[in-house]
Structure 1
Amino acid sequence: MKLQSLIFRPITHFSSKTSKFHSLSLPPSSSLKDFSVSNEINSILNTVSPMEPALEPLLPFISPDIVTSVIQNQPNPQMSFRFFIWAMQRKRLHSSASEKLVLDMLLCKDNAFDVFWQTLEEVKECGVVIVPDVFKILISGFSKMGLEEKAVECFGKMKDFDCKPDLFTFNDILYVLIRKKVLLLALAVYNQILKSNHTPNKATFSILLNGLCKDGKTEDALKMFDEMNLRGIEPNRCIYTIIISGLCRAERADDACRLLVNMKKSGCSPDYVAYNALLHGFCELGRVDEAIALLQSFQKDGFALKLRGYSSFINSLFKVGRFEEANEWYTKMTEENIKPDVVLYAIMLQGLSKAGKIDDAVNLLNEMTERGLVPDTYCYNALIKGFCDIGLLDQAWALKLEISNHDCFPNTCTYTILISGMCRNGLVEEAQQIFDEMEKLGCYPSVHTFNALIRGLSMTGQHDKANLLFYKMEIGRNPSLFLRLSHGSSRLDSSSLQTMVKQLCESGRILKAYKILMQLAEGENLPNVFTYNILINGFCKAGNINGAFKLFKEMQLKGISPDSVTYGTLINGFQRAGREEDAFRIFDQMEKYGCKRSLAVYRSVMTWSCRRGKISLAFNLWLKYLSSLPGREDAVIKEIEKHFVEGDVEKAILRLIDHDFKLNNFSLAPYTIWLIGFCQARKVEEALKIFSILDKSKVIVSPPSCVKLIVGLCQEGNLDQAVDVFLYTLEKGYKLMPRVCNYLLRSLLQSKDKKMLAFDLLNQMNSHGYDLDAYLYSTTKSLLYRHWDTWEMKSLAPG
């Protein structure tokens, strides 16, 4: 049938029919033409082979709606796919509705995906060039429907059909990879973009920068940001906001603030998202007052705080313990008619529970339900944790039982909170029972759940059970790939994994690379650095330092980098075992392997050095730590070191304290370690100098330092100074242990001329709340009774 006669065929015979035909409400003539074209296309698809040349005369009359109609009504899926490919080549299919239509066909018909690839093969054999748009629409569609693996497969197969991706297709697949958090593969695809002579655009950089920032690779994101600028691509508002948010997540709020200033200078006005990200960044760092000052400056630009902003401020105020202010901000928000959502209620519940105000938290939960909001798992978990934190485990368990019928409750976090709370309170067996029941209830334990129970077992000395649980955790839910990559010659570290992904991508096997990375990601319940830290600490406390060191080596072989806690625990374990050389070898390794030595590590090494009488070494270690901090002056540190080497401890300490105060970075820890160290080394005079300097500098000396000094002074026979230090503790409100008090009193009573000081001291202790009857040992009381008459006569003597 000819097209011309089909389109202009008269339709008067329809109107001459009976009234029942009029009730069909015929479409306008244009729709009838579409209907006729659709029929002609279907006729060609069903009878003509190859159909592509026969469709060419119809091209001017084919619209996206006609393409949709044909695909919907064509019973043969192979013909539907072939027509889809032809329509894409002729730019006749662009709408999202048509995209969804094709995907529905792929999803609803049996073996449709295989049929599609077979159809492509046939089209290729016919010499038809397949355009990238065919794959792009599939990649985009599969991505929108959550079928990322299919999207990656589509992209990977483009090479098989001699179809080179255009930049839009590259961007679509980058978006898929970033969303699935396979950044390594996304960067490999980015290299493919550069090698294919495509020029990345703002969308490319926006996708990659977002992925880098969310993965915590802020430095790499900044390098890519610079690369973008070098390519002459000016960042837009979206890209600036991504980098600002990334810097804030990396705790670099000051850098984010500077970037916001540059953003404004470039003529790009920040939006609500950028302002809010910066405020959130300062709040997360606990710098609430600075965030409030920033808010005031932003308000001058027309920024108004909304629900999310209020949530950030309230959450931050709770975190820093400013509970009353948090409540004031909540009240202020409600007065501005901003209604709290479930997220803010969860923050409030957590904050109140943390403050120990469980009753207020329960009332808030009731208020939430009265407002018509359904509490989610986070809300309930906040309350359960609040009960666990104050030891009310029965109430926590009762709350869990009460709400177990809720659609999204309980979850892994709920059980983890309960297990952790029970372990802290010594109920490890009960925690084990909950853990064993989780999987039966369809709730698989997370790495945090495993860590909580392993810690509980280690704390109660059940190391065999802890190890057994560790190996169960290591096997995991998807063990094969992890074990294959983690042992023997096939083990992959991060560098070789990156090389492997790059090679697979370049050879077109992107789907294989994607599956490997996703399998690795699925192993989220495998032991992490925190798990190893718990076990290493357990071995060290049990005296099995070799077992701890074996675990330390094992975690490195598996590509898990030890952190400062790992090193500190192992160093402490070696020191406790008397293996000082091994401890310092581990200490030196930290810098070699790029792990920054924390204050806790330095304190541990210094403390053990002092216990062995190596005060100079402990002092030098602290100066080394100070040298690594920003703002410290090398000349001042060398001057302090010189004073100490010359034996002038007083000058060294005075200069160091002056320097600490000048930089507003004073830490009592090193002074306490040195003071106690001098006492242990029987250099009590030097310890007393440190005590006096701290006191004159209005620095409060810690109780352990006072105790060591009192005992050391008594051993040296310097009882007057020992009494002065004890009176200092009374003045500061310290209540020392009975052992120390009795030791000082006995030393006074057994001396030749200090007996009367003991009775004066008793009066002072009594006036400061000491229960002398309960506090004094029988031997001390016996000495007191022996010298009671002498003290009484002296106290009654005139003058």
Structure 2
Amino acid sequence: MFCSRTRHHGAFSLFSNLFNETSKPSLLTSLFSSKSSPNIPNPKSATAKRPPSLATQNLQETSLTVSTATSPVASICSLLSNSVTEPVKIESLLSDYKGMLNSDIVLQVLRSYKQLGRVRTLEFFSWAGMQMGFKFDDCVIEYMVDFLGRRKLFDDMKCFLMTVLVQNGRVTCRAFSICIRFLGRQGRFREALCLFQEMETKFNCRPDNFVCNNMLYVLCKKEASGELIDVALSIFRGIESPDTYSYGNVLVGLCKFGRFETAIEVFQEMGRAGLVPTRSAVNFLMKELCLLSAKEGAVNEVRVNSSRKPYTILVPNLGSKSGAIRPAVGVFWAVYDLGLLPSTFVIIQLMTELCRLGKMAEAFEILKVVEERKLSCVAEGYAIVMQALCEYRLVEEVSHLFGRMLSLDLKPKLVVYNSVICMLCKLGKLDDAQRVFQIMNKKRCIPDSVTYTALVHAYGEARNWEVAYDLLIEMLGLGWIPHFHAYTLVDKLLREHGRMDLSNKLERKLDSQILHKHCKAGQLESACEKLRSMIEKGFCPPMYVRVAFEHAFQKYGKLEMARELLQKMDKVCEPSKAEVS
């Protein structure tokens, strides 16, 4: 039934002994007949041969005193906990309570395991089982199976089930489901499956939905190899009336191992049955379909080994670019009609994939649902759709959606502003781009190098050197180093219009910014080269750059070298300052 593993637990060795003696019914009958009759004295007991020890006498006196004052459960727990320091055989310790035992008392004592400890708890249960012939109520068996499973005593759990079977006891479906779930959590999938298959044949217990769902949970969610997915599917097909969790476990397993066509069929079958899927199953199904759609449009690496020198080429996937996204959208609208929505993470994945494939109408419809339900991902959803609309240069749709974002006070992120500004600059709509840039500053969204570069290029191409120069100076003032082509374009326009003073000012600010960047990064050689080139040009960096230069060299123990360069710079800069004054 289980994989055979040799484990020794002294407190529970009784179950192993019983399990090994199943082929000797006469021995079992005599054993239980002598142990299960609490009113018949045993003439071969240890107390008949020799007088009890002092510890035993004290414990027996304590048991008589406690039993008259408190309940049997409290008395048994007190005796068991007190006998830890002075070990006494449990048979002699609890001999006065044999006639009182019932399932309720046993269960209450078992629930006091924190007071008794694991060893004493197992010893008591073994003794109580021998006295009662393991004829416990269902709650006791279920509790004990859970107790053993939580402590990973799976071999003892196997012996316990077989002992109950030998004694013609009853094991409930709930007890089996507990065993299966614990075995699955520990990766013992084959043992769990074997126990499931032997329920009806050996234990005469037909699996109910609860047991089947636990078995499907183990095979579909815990098992990672995919070897047992067909077994899980056969178990699912054998359920007379699958419920929501049955469908959910199978959906996760089928998607997990790439059986998407079967997963869609199961999902449709679930809809025809009028069942609402669990949110976790919907999330997993839609997530895997979106990932599959992304892989369909990916570029694959192909190794060419036929040539003298093998090489790798990139080959686009020519399969259907919307094969997996269609069922994903269908699942979304199906669960939406049932009043259920997937997680925000999955919704964003779906909208991102739709935008990548150019299905803007469907993405916009999903965005409407997100806005109506006031989900937390509404701002991120707007950002994704806005970026896609800007890539396709759909100006009217962008204008409408951007205005709606502002009216809803969603506070567009930097990436949204950059997408809109870049689109407008590429289309030559400089007034609109400047208006969006002003809105951006009004909303206190700090622009970055992408924002300034797009505007500088656009005004430079329009030969508006005044605005292009002002933007470039503002960009340098914020600590952003412009792109080489943007700087070259503005500098060329300044020279063409005879503004050499502005050209020199722009060059000095750029060199100072580059020098400051080298100092902050600890690039001392590059910083020295840049400062020497500035000295040759007669440029004097501002005070904050000089302080950063000294600090960088002092940090690496080269302050003297820095001071030599700075003194040389002061000699060059003093005459120019005097001329200016």
TM-score (normalizing by structure 2): 0.40
Q: If you compute each CA radius of gyration, which structure gives the higher value, 1 or 2?
A: 2
Task: Give the number of the structure with larger relative contact order, counting CA–CA contacts within 8 Å between residues 6 or more apart.
Answer: 2
